[in-house]
């Protein structure tokens, strides 16, 4: 094992702190296979401290036994959590005394290792923890003190948290952070009712954009029904246990993942991973209507790979697919998440951009990037080079279909003009 600066991380690693050799070996094998990263084993708290000194910055998550030969009261958990590492605790029994020793420490979760399938459970919790590190949650609660408490619990789950106390500040947070995937909303807000706000969110945003967890301290059980009828995915009543809160939060995120997976299968092009033609028109109509209602502009671009048939004829359809995938990656990297990038069909792509003032600059940059791109041909040392032609429509038309038609006509003029160019509808 090579020494490394604990402040830098050349490669991610996982840490298992456990004195049970059989369990440690099983975890090492399973986690290394599932996550393809080195797994370091520490049979004692002393060895764990040494590994943290060597590789501290490389551990996003650690799996830590509650009891060790030199740390019988959970000191190893404290050691790891103080280092800012997400911690999954292991125990051989779950009773009130164990619960008291674990529940009030900032652990992600705890697992009873005597249960069948414990290794698989640990793997699932670890995967969820790594997933949560890329998730953004909006917490809306009229009580500053209770909001701070819940925010701490969410951060223990490794979630990024934005806190709002009012409807107005929550809407602004959603506008500024469209990647938010879960809204935790209390029934009492600084400027209104949480149930009404839940219904408003479902009216403003497409179903499946994010999950909603309602929180209520009201004695009236009908509040839970009102939350669910308003579109909440789940409801939790105060007071609650820490693990119940974590379970509800992660359950909402798991269900959102399932919905997203199903929607992607329906809305994504199987080859390129971009949105497909059906979704382009489904979501595009919403973008167009928003632009027309708010008197905003919208840019529509139709993009075509030049001489694509020749690529297929000379190199075969497999290489043609490689070219399409490469072009899709360039497109996906060139536009914001608020823009809509789709494959229209064949070698033709479409972009709906909500910042038309910069659209021509972006399209020229895209054309230049495509021209400079070199695509390796499988089984050959030869590199494939390609160019693209782009038709761009920036005036807001009478309909989305009319704008796409205008952009397509501009694309035709770009082809007639010699290809590898951008033609604009003004």
Residue 165 lies in a domain: yes
Query: Which structure tokens are listed for 46?
Result: 């002393």
Judgement on whether residues 73 and 156 belong to the same structural domain of the protein: no
Residue 9 lies in a domain: no
Q: Supply the pLDDT for residue 9.
A: 57
| Secondary structure letter of residue 352 according to DSSP | E
How far is it, in rounded angstroms, from Cα 224 to Cα 218? 9
Mean pLDDT, residues 47-64? 96
- Print the domain residue range for 353: 277-425
How many domains would you assign to the chain? 3
Domain boundary among 241, 267, 293: 267
Residue 300, SS3 per DSSP: strand
Q: Which of 6, 13, 4 is nearest to 83 (CA)?
A: 6
Q: Supply the pLDDT for residue 103.
A: 80
Judgement on whether residues 298 and 189 belong to the same structural domain of the protein: no
Judgement on whether residues 149 and 61 belong to the same structural domain of the protein: no
Band (128; pLDDT cuts 50, 70, 90): very high
Left (φ > 0), alpha (ψ -120 to 50) or beta: where does 420 sit? left
Judgement on whether residues 388 and 283 belong to the same structural domain of the protein: yes
Percent of the chain at pLDDT exceeding 90:
78
Q: Supply the pLDDT for residue 207.
A: 72
Mean pLDDT, residues 50-71? 95
Provide the mean pLDDT of the chain: 92
Band (373; pLDDT cuts 50, 70, 90): confident
Inter-residue contact 63 to 39 (CB < 8 Å): no
Domain boundary among 114, 129, 144: 129
Judgement on whether residues 418 and 291 belong to the same structural domain of the protein: yes
Q: Supply the pLDDT for residue 3.
A: 44
Q: Supply the pLDDT for residue 356.
A: 75
Q: 144-181 pLDDT, tens per residue?
A: 999 999 999 999 999 999 999 999 999 999 989 989 99
CATH number of the domain that residue 377 is part of: 3.30.70.270
Q: Is 422 exposed, middle or buried (0-12, 13-18, 19+ CB in 10 A)?
A: buried
Count of beta carbons in the 10 Å neighbourhood of residue 326:
19
Residue 96 lies in a domain: yes
Judgement on whether residues 337 and 365 belong to the same structural domain of the protein: yes
Q: Supply the pLDDT for residue 10.
A: 63
Residue 7 lies in a domain: no
| Secondary structure letter of residue 377 according to DSSP | P
Residue 327 lies in a domain: yes
Judgement on whether residues 403 and 295 belong to the same structural domain of the protein: yes
Judgement on whether residues 56 and 160 belong to the same structural domain of the protein: no
Residue 156 lies in a domain: yes
Q: Supply the pLDDT for residue 6.
A: 46
Judgement on whether residues 46 and 120 belong to the same structural domain of the protein: yes
Domain boundary among 267, 287, 322: 267
Q: Supply the pLDDT for residue 268.
A: 93
Q: Which residue has the tokens 């379970």?
A: 247
Residue 375, SS3 per DSSP: strand
Check pLDDT > 50 for residue 5. no
Check pLDDT > 50 for residue 2. no
Residue 5 lies in a domain: no
Least confident of 377-386, 388-397, 408-417: 377-386
Query: Which structure tokens are listed for 197?
Result: 């706000």
Residue 2 lies in a domain: no
How far is it, in rounded angstroms, from Cα 64 to Cα 81? 10
Percent of the chain at pLDDT exceeding 70:
98
CATH number of the domain that residue 53 is part of: 3.40.50.2300
Judgement on whether residues 293 and 416 belong to the same structural domain of the protein: yes
How far is it, in rounded angstroms, from Cα 201 to Cα 113? 41
Q: 207-263 pLDDT, tens per residue?
A: 778 999 999 987 888 999 999 999 999 999 999 989 899 999 999 999 999 988 888
Q: 274-322 pLDDT, tens per residue?
A: 999 999 999 999 899 988 888 888 999 999 999 999 999 999 999 999 9
Q: Which residue has the tokens 């125990």?
A: 91
- 358 CB contacts (<8 Å, ≥6 apart)? none
Judgement on whether residues 421 and 308 belong to the same structural domain of the protein: yes
Distance of CA 207 to the CA centre of its chain: 17
Mean pLDDT, residues 359-384? 90
Residue 83, SS3 per DSSP: coil
Mean pLDDT, residues 43-63? 96
Judgement on whether residues 158 and 196 belong to the same structural domain of the protein: yes
């Amino acid at each position: 094992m090579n020494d490394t600066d604990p402040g830098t991380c050349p490669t991610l690693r996982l840490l298992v702190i456990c004195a049970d050799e059989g369990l440690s070996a099983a975890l090492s094998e399973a986690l290394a296979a599932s996550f393809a990263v080195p797994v370091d084993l520490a049979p004692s708290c002393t060895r764990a401290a040494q590994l943290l000194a060597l590789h501290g910055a490389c551990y996003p998550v650690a799996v830590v036994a509650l009891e060790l030969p030199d740390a019988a009261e959970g000191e190893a958990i404290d050691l790891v959590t103080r280092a800012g590492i997400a911690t999954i605790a292991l125990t051989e029994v779950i009773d009130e005394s164990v619960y008291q020793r674990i529940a009030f420490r900032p652990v992600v979760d705890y697992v009873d290792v005597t249960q069948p399938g414990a290794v698989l459970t640990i793997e699932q919790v670890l995967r969820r923890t790594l997933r949560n590190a890329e998730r953004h949650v909006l917490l809306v609660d009229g009580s500053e003190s209770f909001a701070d408490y819940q925010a701490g619990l969410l951060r223990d789950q490794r979630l990024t948290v934005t806190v709002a106390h009012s409807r107005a500040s929550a809407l602004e947070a959603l506008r500024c952070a469209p990647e938010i995937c879960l809204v935790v909303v209390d029934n009492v807000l600084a400027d209104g009712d949480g149930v009404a706000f839940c219904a408003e969110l479902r009216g403003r945003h497409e179903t499946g954009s994010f999950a909603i967890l309602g929180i209520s301290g009201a004695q009236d059980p009908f509040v839970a029904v009102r939350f669910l009828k308003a579109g909440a995915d789940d409801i939790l009543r105060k007071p609650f246990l820490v693990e119940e809160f974590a379970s509800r939060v992660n359950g909402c995120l798991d269900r959102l993942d399932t919905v997203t997976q199903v929607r992607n299968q329906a809305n994504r092009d199987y080859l390129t991973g971009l949105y497909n033609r059906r979704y382009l028109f489904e979501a595009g109509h919403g973008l167009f209507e928003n632009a027309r209602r708010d008197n905003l502009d919208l840019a529509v671009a139709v993009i075509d790979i030049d001489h694509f048939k020749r690529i297929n004829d000379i190199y075969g359809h497999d290489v043609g697919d490689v070219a399409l995938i490469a072009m899709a990656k360039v497109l996906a990297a060139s536009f914001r998440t608020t823009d809509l990038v789709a494959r229209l069909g064949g070698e033709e792509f479409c972009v709906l951009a909500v910042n038309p003032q910069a659209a021509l600059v972006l399209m020229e940059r895209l054309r230049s990037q495509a021209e400079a791109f070199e695509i390796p041909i499988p089984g050959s040392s030869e590199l494939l080079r390609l160019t693209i032609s782009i038709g761009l429509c920036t005036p807001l038309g009478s309909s989305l279909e009319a704008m796409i038609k205008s952009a397509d006509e501009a694309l035709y003029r770009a082809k007639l003009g010699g290809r590898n160019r951008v033609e604009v509808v003004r």
